[in-house]
């Protein structure tokens, strides 16, 4: 019975976490137990324990006398997340370049090759399905770059920050008209700055710097890329 209870808690936690991260539950939405029971079919005890765990993940917040709400989103928090993730990513990259072996190098080459074969969002013929495939290939390449690190806690915080960044980005696409304009219904991203972020050459330069164990150049490329991402979000946010 004890084991069954915790399996239900885990299931409730993972289900709610996935829906919050993918904006199936809107930001700043009241998470009433009755509504959660009707929507997801879990009992009140697993739901309460799941909400407590999600509060620790900063995905929900507990407001006195009101209850749990999904975490809000803001451009200020998104910028903070990018700044924080930059620190962890550079640390993980530095360690990977120090400890990476032949298998690590081979995986970087393999995932970069697969990324380069995808239809880039910077191309006019890119559909939404192409964009999803490109994103998956990008994540595989990004994970390969840091896979030889030896800092599990830094990796944990890097993953956590990445999940929150993705959530905030999804929310902005829904909530902000100028972000919604970036959808792929016309086959391309409208913003020239945003298109430049997807250029394959950027990832080729990063691959070469990492494989050459040139941390100084790697740091320059990572900082330049993240600065462009942050500037793009600020630009689009200011237009709303």
Domain with residue 56: its CATH number is 1.10.10.10
The single-letter DSSP state of residue 24 is S
- The tens digit of pLDDT for each residue in 180-219 reads 444 443 334 556 666 677 888 999 999 999 999 999 999 9
The residues, any chain, with a CB within 8 Å of residue 209's CB and separated by 6 or more, are 217, 218, 221
Domain boundary pick from 51, 70, 89: 70
Determine the pLDDT at residue 2.
45
Choose the final residue of a domain: 70, 86, 101: 70
Structural domain for 31, as ranges: 2-70
At residue 164 the predicted structure's pLDDT band, cuts being 50, 70 and 90, is: very high
Does 66 share its domain with 80? no
Residue 237 has pLDDT above 90, yes or no: no
The proportion of the chain whose per-residue pLDDT surpasses 90, expressed as a percent, equals: 68
Q: Which residues pair with 91 in a beta bridge?
A: none
Query: Is the pTM here over 0.85, yes or no?
Result: no
Q: What is the number of other CB atoms lying within 10 angstroms of the CB of residue 22?
A: 11
Instruction: Report whether 158 contacts 95 (CB < 8 A).
Output: no
């Amino acid at each position: 019975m004890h084991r069954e209870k915790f399996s239900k808690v885990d299931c409730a936690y993972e289900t709610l976490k996935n829906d919050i991260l993918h904006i199936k539950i809107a930001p700043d939405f009241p998470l009433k137990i009755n509504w959660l029971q009707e929507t997801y079919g879990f009992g009140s005890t697993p739901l309460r324990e799941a909400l407590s765990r999600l509060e620790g993940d900063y995905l929900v917040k507990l407001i006195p006398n009101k209850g749990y709400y999904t975490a809000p989103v803001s451009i200020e928090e998104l910028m903070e997340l990018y700044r924080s993730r930059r620190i962890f990513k550079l640390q993980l990259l530095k360690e990977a370049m120090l400890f990476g072996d032949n298998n690590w190098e081979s995986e970087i080459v393999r995932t970069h090759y697969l990324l380069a074969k995808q239809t880039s969002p910077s191309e006019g013929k890119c559909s939404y399905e192409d964009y999803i495939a490109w994103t998956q290939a990008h994540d595989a390449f990004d994970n390969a770059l840091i896979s030889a690190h030896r800092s599990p806690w830094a990796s944990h915080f890097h993953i956590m920050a990445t999940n929150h960044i993705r959530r905030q980005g999804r929310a902005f696409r829904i909530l902000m008209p100028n972000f919604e304009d970036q959808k792929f219904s016309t086959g391309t991203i409208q913003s020239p700055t945003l298109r430049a972020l997807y250029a394959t050459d950027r990832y080729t330069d990063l691959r070469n710097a990492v494989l050459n164990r040139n941390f100084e150049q790697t740091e320059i490329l990572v900082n330049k890329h993240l600065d462009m991402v942050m500037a793009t979000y600020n630009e689009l946010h200011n237009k709303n």
